[in-house]
Copies of this chain bind each other. A is one copy, B any other.
Amino acid sequence: MKLKPLADRVVLKMVEAEETTKGGIILTGAAKEKPEVAEVIEVGPGGVVDGKEVVMTVKAGDKVITSKYSGTQVKIDGVEYTIVRQGDILAIVE
């Protein structure tokens, strides 16, 4: 199954960063603080949203930071996604 977001919505997936501690142990997501960076998976078409023209400026593959608590979590085929409005994306991480 694939999610096609509507209007100015964007489908995100939290980045499960692997990190090597100083002692060489690899920590996965659960053992660390909640990761703050998400990857853009799908981008809506934009267009007129609430009577205002919205141009989409993020694209699939971008790493982004969103306002905390924004968006709706959904689970598709066992994978958890977050759907946000583009306006809830604060910055792209490069």
- Which residues of B sit under 8 angstroms from A5, Cβ to Cβ? 90-91
Q: Would B83 and A90 count as touching, CB distance under 8 A?
A: yes
Residue total for A at the interface (Cβ-Cβ under 8 A):
37
- Which residues of B sit under 8 angstroms from A67, Cβ to Cβ? 72
Contact of A52 among B44, B51, B86, B90 (CB under 8 A): B51
Copies of this chain, tallied across the complex = 7
Of all chain B residues, which has the CB nearest A62? Answer: B4
- Whether a CB of chain B sits under 8 angstroms from the CB of A57 is yes
Q: How far is the CB of A48 from chain B (nearest CB, A)?
A: 7
Q: How far is the CA of A36 from the CA of B89 in the complex (A)?
A: 24
Q: Would B1 and A75 count as touching, CB distance under 8 A?
A: no
